[in-house]
Amino acid sequence: MSIISQLKKSLPKNIIISGDENTRPFECDGLSVYKQKPLAVVLPNEIKHVKKVLEICRKNKTPIVTRGAGTGLSGGAMPIKDSVVLGLSKLTEVISINPVEQTAIVQPGVRNLAISEAADEYGLYYAPDPSSQIACTIGGNVAENAGGVHCLKYGLTVQNIESIKIMTIDGHELVFSREDEGLGLLALMTGSEGLLGIITEITVKLTKKPQLAKLVMAGFDTVRDCANAVAEIIRNGIIPAGLEMMDEFAIKASEDFARPGYPLESKALLLCELDGSEEFVNIDIDKVLSLLSKAQSVRVSESEEERLLLWKGRKSAFPAVGRISPDYYCMDGTIPKRHLADVLEKINDLSKYFSLRVANVFHAGDGNLHPLILYDAGIPGELEKAEEFGNEILKLCIEVGGSITGEHGVGIEKLDAMCYQFNDAELDVFHQIKAAFDPLSLLNPGKAIPTLNRCAELGSMHVHHGDLPHPELERF
């Protein structure tokens, strides 16, 4: 009996999708240049169905790719050949909210924004706010350790969850909590990209809504002046709720798309949000304004509507750039803040070298870059050129002491870059951890952790921990 027949025999038929055309919507995630149709898709609406899928796939040695809303940008939810996609988007129950403990217990298919909507009546919200928060699910956020524009002050997903329940490949339920002593398995599972277990329940930390939030928008004549302002704000002990930066390309695209009122004459834009009590917000606003002497224009939001509109422009940057080019490739790397200006200048040099435009929009406060490389997949060789450009950016991040990802994960996109950042011994530890949880390698196999053979094949391209200078960058 085929695995599809076994699934249909054991599960409600209305949660199983099979056939080439029917499974096509699930052939990729937000990284749509790579596609693979699965054998079948199962969309359980009860946890017991998850356990049954694991049982059948384990018995048949069939790979399982877990999927949330499919908004990921690294190919982490892309099916592999002859796999079953386990979609958790129907597990949408907000199980409980505890306003005293300031926590909520939710299923993995609950949308990020829906948590804040459910907690609103208690004056609480869920702080991590990815740009895709209207659609992305909390289960996917945990799998990728997602961030957002407010992660500087309030942290990434890993700092905002109290515990998670997972189901192992053997169907056993485990609970990992922040209160556990020892190995820190809660942190290990956060960002594990579906390689170690299936997330079935999350207890998130809720945050009290601030009394006041104001946004400072500053335009600069140069990217370097803007980047230096970021460093000055942090150096002076100010911790903004959000500290975002956009270059000229991103400013114009976002203004055309969302009409937030950005200064089109600026070469770089800084968005700095301060929140808390009215007294301390106003004190911090004055401090920030005193550090923006090189800004050509400064504006402070005067209402909640204005603040949200200014953020709307930043959060709309990805679709805004998408209107300009047939295709774009969104990168994700993290660097020490002191290197922001130098790295952005080198990205501009790379843009000229590859003859591909790039829009820079990123979480400046924690150095998480999101360069958007524009290309046309209809032109032979342009996709490969965009990928090479992206690879050079990731090498650059490593060379200045950063990382190949901040919040998008590794997936299939950054497998080669993992070889640049980690040596063989370190990668071997990753493989051992994977084997401890999933000895048959059925959970999202081939993602996130490259084989040692793959790294060996990269040969002289292999770079470890910031070896400088990189020979490719000597072209500049």
Contact 324, 356 (CB under 8 A): no
Task: Evaluate whether 94-208 and 325-461 have a shared fold.
Answer: no
Which contiguous run of DSSP H or E holds residue 327? Answer: strand 327-330
Q: Is the pLDDT of residue 470 over 80?
A: no
pLDDT tens for residues 111-120? 999 999 999 9
Q: Is the pLDDT of residue 474 over 80?
A: no
Measured CA to CA, the distance from residue 365 to residue 378 in angstroms comes to 36
Mean pLDDT of 290-298: 97
Which contiguous run of DSSP H or E holds residue 112? Answer: helix 112-119
| pLDDT tier for residue 464 given thresholds of 50, 70 and 90 | very low
What lies within 8 Å, CB to CB, of 385 at 6+ separation is 354, 355, 356, 375
Q: Is the pLDDT of residue 95 over 50?
A: yes
| 94-208 fold | 3.30.465
pLDDT on residue 386: 96
Cα 292 to the center of its chain, rounded Å: 30
Write down the domain spans for the chain: 3-87, 94-208, 212-320, 325-461
274 pairs with which residues across the strands?
214
Which contiguous run of DSSP H or E holds residue 411? Answer: none
Dihedral (CA of 300, 302, 307, 313) sign: negative
- 3-class SS letters over 286-299: HHHHHCCCCEEEEE
Query: In terms of C-beta distances under 8 Å and separation of at least 24 residues, what long-range contacts does 13-16 make, across chains too?
Result: 15/42, 15/43, 15/44, 15/45, 15/49, 15/90, 16/40, 16/41, 16/42, 16/43
> Whole-number mean pLDDT of the chain?
94
| pLDDT tier for residue 461 given thresholds of 50, 70 and 90 | very low
Only one residue has tokens 């695209």, namely 253
pLDDT on residue 475: 31
Mean pLDDT of 329-340: 94
Query: Burial of 469 by CB count in 10 Å (0-12 exposed, 13-18 middle, 19+ buried)?
Result: exposed
How many Cβ atoms from other residues are within 10 Å of residue 139's Cβ? 27
Q: Is the pLDDT of residue 462 over 70?
A: no
Contact 236, 173 (CB under 8 A): no
Indicate yes or no: pTM above 0.95: no
Structure tokens given for 346: 């080198």
| 3-87 fold | 3.30.43
Mean pLDDT of 211-230: 96
What lies within 8 Å, CB to CB, of 266 at 6+ separation is 219, 220, 221, 248, 251, 296, 297
Measured CA to CA, the distance from residue 285 to residue 400 in angstroms comes to 31
SS3 391: helix
Measured CA to CA, the distance from residue 40 to residue 72 in angstroms comes to 20
- Of 84-88, 132-136, 377-381, 470-474, minimum mean pLDDT range: 470-474
**Category of 191 on φ-ψ map: left (φ > 0), alpha (ψ -120 to 50) or beta:** left
Give, in degrees to the nearest 5, the angle at Cα 208 between 204 and 211.
Answer: 155
212-320 is a CATH 3.30.70.2190 domain? yes
Measured CA to CA, the distance from residue 444 to residue 470 in angstroms comes to 33
Structure tokens given for 235: 């150096």
Dihedral (CA of 205, 209, 213, 217) sign: positive
Give, in degrees to the nearest 5, the angle at Cα 121 between 119 and 127.
Answer: 35
Mean pLDDT of 399-405: 96
Q: Is the pLDDT of residue 457 over 90?
A: no
Measured CA to CA, the distance from residue 130 to residue 157 in angstroms comes to 10
Which contiguous run of DSSP H or E holds residue 439? Answer: none
Contact 397, 420 (CB under 8 A): no
| pLDDT tier for residue 183 given thresholds of 50, 70 and 90 | confident
Mean pLDDT of 452-468: 62
| pLDDT tier for residue 108 given thresholds of 50, 70 and 90 | very high
| 325-461 fold | Alpha-Beta Plaits (3.30.70)
SS3 240: coil
Strands (E), 173-302: 173-177, 198-205, 207-208, 212-220, 242-247, 268-276, 295-300
Contact 113, 99 (CB under 8 A): no
- Of 50-54, 120-124, 158-162, 316-320, minimum mean pLDDT range: 316-320
How many Cβ atoms from other residues are within 10 Å of residue 342's Cβ? 14
Structure tokens given for 38: 């699965």
SS3 65: strand
Q: Is the pLDDT of residue 72 over 50?
A: yes
